[in-house]
Amino acid sequence: MELQKMRKKIDLIDYEMLKLLNQRMEYVLRLKKLKSSVTDTDRELEVFQHIRRFSQHLIKPEFSEKIFREIIKESKRLQEQDIKVVGFQGEHGAYSEVAALSYEPALVPIPCVDFVDVFEGVKNNQLDYGIVPVENSLEGAVAQVNDLLIETDLKITGEISIPIHHHLLAIKETDYRDIRVVYSHPQALAQCHGFISRNKLDPRPFYDTAGAAKMLAAKGARSIAAISSALCAELYNLDIIKENIEDHESNKTRFLVLSAEPSKAAGNKCSMIFQTRHEAGALFRVLRIFSDADINLTRIESRPVRKEPGQYAFLLDFLGSDTDAKIRGALEKVKKETAMFKFMGCYKEAVK
């Protein structure tokens, strides 16, 4: 029994080492965007100086150097490849990462603390793309993302809509009857209210659905569970105790793909942001332009402009291509009719 406990502890340490190594490689890929050459001899010497200084107890400096020479070799190999990285908000396993992998499996997802970090990462060329949730079929618009869209100069180059399926996750060999407390993001807890109530579980809000799964894996307690994605179960070595526990099967989230440059591919959907003048009928006149041109609007959202108290901006999506003469003509009329106009991009409409 003692032997098995020791081996399990070693397995956990190995798992944590690999997670940290993967995190290091994510930073390596981001760093690639900021430097002109893959090889940096001075930096490598600095790394080895740190390694020799921090090697202690059972770990000899020679052994540490041997390990890190392989790590640096692999880091260079990754930087030499044409790997595209996409930033998302949350921990690994977040629904935004699920969306990113569904949109383009070849992209390497990079976790960011907040939505603003996704926008800044793309703006500062640390990330090739960003993926952010813009609206949910049950909860409506994601306010923070819409506010950031109003302020950014980034372009929308794609969208994807995915079903949100919540699962009850627990550590391996957990007896479902032992679970008393469940952690997740407040929105996920609300969307699974029926299941939580029926099973008399104590809901505890957490900053992130994936973060709840990560915490659960670290604690290893069998009396708690997390509501998260199936990807979290895979990443954090957890069991799915109950699948699809959401109250409404129609729960979907639409995500936008952001880039510093507009898409070169042909698109059939466009996004724009505008502010009207303070005049009677100003919004009506803008919308009438689309009606007269027989252009189908798919979304219109209003948000207060944070840098201009009392002012509102409108986020509008419509079907059509910016290469179409009819669309170009309508947009020219909108520019003349508005106090502020910003074309966010033309991209391929998500498959529904």
Which residues are the active-site residues? 253, 255
H runs (alpha helix) in 199-277: 209-219, 230-235
CB atoms within 10 A of CB 39: 11
Given a contact cutoff of 8 angstroms between Cβ atoms, the answer to whether 214 and 224 are in contact is: no
d(CA 206, CA 184): 5
Of 74, 350, 130, the C-alpha closest to 260 is 130
SS3 56: coil
CB atoms within 10 A of CB 55: 15
Residue 204 Rama label (left phi>0; alpha psi -120 to 50; beta): beta
Given a contact cutoff of 8 angstroms between Cβ atoms, the answer to whether 183 and 202 are in contact is: no
Q: How is residue 349 written in tokens?
A: 């409409």
Q: Could you identify the residue written with the tokens 């699948």?
A: 243
Of 89, 245, 92, 91, the C-alpha closest to 169 is 245
SS3 320: coil
d(CA 44, CA 240): 43
Q: How is residue 107 written in tokens?
A: 């992209």
Of 117, 153, 158, 111, the C-alpha closest to 134 is 158
H/E stretch holding 20 reads: helix 2-32
Based on DSSP, count helices (H) and strands (E) in the chain, helices before strands: 12, 15
